[in-house]
Amino acid sequence: MIAASPHLVRLDGVEKHFGAVRALGGVDLTVERGECLGLVGHNGAGKSTLMHILTGTAVADRGQLMFAGETQVSYSPAQAKRLGVRCVFQELSLCPNLTVAENARVFHPALSGFNWRRKAAALIIDKLDAIFPGHGIGASDLIQDLPIGRRQMVEVARAFTATDEPVRLVILDEPTSSLDAHTAGQLLGFMRRVVEGGVSCIFISHLLGEVLDNCDRIVVMRDGKTVADGGARTFDRDRLVSAMGGVDARTREARAVKAPARGQSPLRVRARSGRGAGAAELVAHQGEVIGLAGLAGHGQTALLLSVFSGARRARAGIEVTASMALIAGDRQADGIFPLWSIAENIGVRSLATLSRGLLISRRREDALADFWRDKIRIRTPDIHDNILSLSGGNQQKALFARALGSDARIVLMDDPMRGVDVGTKLEVYDLIREEAASGRTFLWYTTETDELKQCDHVYVFRNGAIVADLSRDELTEQKVIQSSFTEAG
C-alpha cells in the first residue's frame, strides 16, 4: 500500500509566518523515492524553514504534508524520526561535551543495554569509514576537541546510521560548507551511492556546481515560494542564478584593476607559521588581499589567531603594524552576541568612536548600523531587532559590517562565507576589492577556489606550515590541490 504512492513526500500549499514576516507563502514540493533533490535559493528564501517543517521542528500554519501517501496530522520530530526522516542541520546538533559514540547513542534510543558503548562506537565508526575513508576520528573523541570540519563529518555520518528505524529521507543543509574539497567530494560520492540504493536526499547548497553535478532534480526557492522546478540537466549556472533572482551572473575573472607590484606599499603583517627555523613566512602589505588556502584544519585558522593576538602583545615571529579586526568562521560560537540587537552587534568593535564620555551614544551606533545595513543590504525591518532574527547569511553580513565599520586597517577572515548564498558572496567580493583599494589589508582563509581567485596572493598550508606561495597569475585550482597533497605524491 505504501509502495503504491509514487511520492515519498508531498507538500501542498505550506505556509509559515513568524510574526509579521512570511517565511513560506504556499510551497508545493514533492520528493520521489530514490531521488536526490537539489534545493537552492538566497539566504532568507525559506529553505531552512521548509526543512524544519519536514523534520517536524516547526509546524506549518497552513497546508498539508503527506509522507508515503499518508497525510500527516500531528507531525512531530518523533514522528518524522519514526518515518525515517533525517536532517543534517546547518547549526550543528551534536553535544560538544559527549564523545562521538555517545552522540550516536543520543540519536538512537535502541542503543541501550550492557554493551551500548561498543555498539554505538561500531555503528558510527563504520558509517564514518564508509563515507569519509581515512577520517581520523575516534569513537571516544570528545566533540569539543574536534575541529569544525570533523564535527560536521560526525554529524553527517550520524544522520545516515540506522538501528531500528529505517533511513528514507536525508536532508543535507549545507553539509559541505565546513568541509574541504576532498571530504566534500567523499560525501557527495556517498550521497550518490545512497540514492542509487533507494534512499531520497534533499541537498541544500550554495555551491551551485555541487548541486548541478550531483542532483537529479533542482527546485529554486525565492521569497518563500518555489519559482523553478526541473531536471538538473535543464539548468545551468546562469539559469539557476537568474531564477534565484539574485545578482546577474557575471564573469568575475575579468577584472580590469591590476594590483600594484608587491612591496610598493608599507608592510602590514609578517608572520611565520610553524616553529621550524626554515618555515616560510606570510607577508601582507597595505591594500593587499592575501589568501590562505589548503585543506581545512591545516593551520590556517591557528595562524590567523596568532596574528590577531600578535597585534595586542609582542609574539615571536609575528610583526603587525596596524589595527586589526577578525571575522570569525564559527559564527554561532565566536561571532555573534546572541542576546544583542543587530545594531549592537555591528557597533561592538567600534565602541571607542561610538561613545561620548563614558556612555555609548545610541544615535551614533544606530547611524553606523544604518549605514552598513544600506550599504551591504542586511535584510531586516529594524536594526534594533535581535541578531538571531536574521538568516545565517545576513548574520554573516552583520559580522562583516562590524569589522569593516571599525577603524581596523587589517581584516582577518576565517572562512567567513560558509553557508552564504551566491548573491551575497558576489557583493562581498566587490566590497573587499573596494576596501582593499582604499588601503585596507585582508588575510582571508577560505576553502573555496572561487574566493582564492579574488586574492592578490595565496599561501597554501599543509600540516600547519606554508608549503606554497602563489601570486595571482600563478594561481590555479590544480596548483592549490597539488600543494595541499604533495605528501601523497
Partner 1 sequence: MSGSAAAAKPASRAIGRLNLPRLLRALLPALSLALVLSAIAWLNPRAISYFGFTLMLNLAIPIALATLAQMFVIAGNDLDLSIGAFVGFVGCVTATWLREAPLVGIGVLLGCVGVYAALGALIYLRNLPSIVVTLGMSFVWQGLAILLLPKPGGKAPDWLLATMGVKPPLVPFPILAALAIAALGYVGLMRTSYGAILRGSGGNAVAIGRAGWSLLSAKMALFACTGLFGVLSGLALIGITTSADANIGNGYTLLSIAGVILGGGEFVGGRVSPIGAVIGALTLALAASPLLTFMHIPPDWQVAANGAILIVVLAARVLISRREAER
The footprint of partner 1 (CB under 8 A) covers 55, 57, 77-78, 81, 93-98, 102-103, 105-107, 109, 111-113, 116-117, 133-138, 141-142, 144-147, 150, 182-183, 186, 295, 297-298, 462-463, 485, 487-489
CB 427 within 8 A of CB 394: no
Phi then psi for residue 392, to 5 deg, are -55, -45
- Shortest distance, CB of residue 395 to partner 1, whole angstroms? 17
**Nearer Cβ to partner 1 (96/266):** 96
**Nearer Cβ to partner 1 (98/322):** 98
- Shortest distance, CB of residue 402 to partner 1, whole angstroms? 24
> Each residue of 240-258: b (16+ CB within 10 Å) or e?
bbebbebbebeeeeeeeee
- Shortest distance, CB of residue 94 to partner 1, whole angstroms? 6
**Nearer Cβ to partner 1 (71/482):** 482
**What is the separation, in whole angstroms, between the first and last Cα of the chain?**
55
- Shortest distance, CB of residue 103 to partner 1, whole angstroms? 8
- Shortest distance, CB of residue 255 to partner 1, whole angstroms? 31
**Nearer Cβ to partner 1 (323/463):** 463
**Residue position matching grid coordinates 526522516:** 85
- Shortest distance, CB of residue 64 to partner 1, whole angstroms? 23
- Shortest distance, CB of residue 167 to partner 1, whole angstroms? 15
**Nearer Cβ to partner 1 (298/457):** 298
Residue 21, CA distances (Å) to 15, 48, 146, 379 in order: 11, 15, 37, 12
**Nearer Cβ to partner 1 (111/289):** 111
**Nearer Cβ to partner 1 (165/281):** 165
- Shortest distance, CB of residue 145 to partner 1, whole angstroms? 5
CA angle 390, 396, 401 (to 5 degrees): 105
**Nearer Cβ to partner 1 (263/489):** 489
**Nearer Cβ to partner 1 (133/357):** 133
| Dist. CA 393–CA 18, nearest whole Å | 18
**Nearer Cβ to partner 1 (81/364):** 81
**Nearer Cβ to partner 1 (18/485):** 485
- Shortest distance, CB of residue 215 to partner 1, whole angstroms? 24
- Shortest distance, CB of residue 81 to partner 1, whole angstroms? 6
Longest CA–CA span in the chain (Å) reads 74
- Shortest distance, CB of residue 144 to partner 1, whole angstroms? 8
